[in-house]
Amino acid sequence: MKRPAFLFLLLFVSLSLAAQQVDSFSLKKTAMDLNAAMLAQDSAKVNQLLHKKCNYGHSNGWIEKKNELIANMFNGTLKYTNISQGTMTAVIEDKTGLLRSNIEVDVIRNGQPAHFRLHVLQVWIWKNKKGWQLLGRQATRLPDEGQEGNK
């Protein structure tokens, strides 16, 4: 009688640990999916991954709302041509995930190419039936290569 209870407890603990790993993995995967959707200008996927109250902050202080971000992908304001994702660090509490990473981004902004090295903080929330959705994002510029010691 004790053996089935022990096996049930072991299974429960194993599933709980796996669920925590899956959440961190799924959050990072969703962030990568958003990068891919922005590069592909996949407005349906971007729409799915952004929360309706999303604020998307750029390193120059410009903040886009969800509908502005999607519109700007197609009206020539901002086209992403490369997103090189660095190591991501995730912190998850209940249904909220914080994701930090360094990225390099190439864009065409108002017809002009630009390259940025950024540190990004993203705030994601888990919505039942919708999965992870980006609620907020803020980027800060990193110094150019070789200038890390200059402040």
Q: What is the pLDDT of residue 149?
A: 54
Query: For residue 61, which amino acid is it?
Result: G
Q: Domain residues of the chain, as ranges? A: 2-141
Question: pTM of the prediction?
Answer: 0.81
Positions of E strands within the chain: 50-57, 63-65, 78-93, 96-109, 112-127, 131-141
pLDDT tens digits along 94-109: 999 999 999 999 999 9
Q: Which residues of 58-73 are buried (b: 16+ CB within 10 A; e: fewer)?
A: bbeeeebebeebbebb
pLDDT tens digits along 9-41: 444 444 443 343 338 999 999 999 999 999 999
Q: What is the CATH class of 2-141?
A: alpha beta
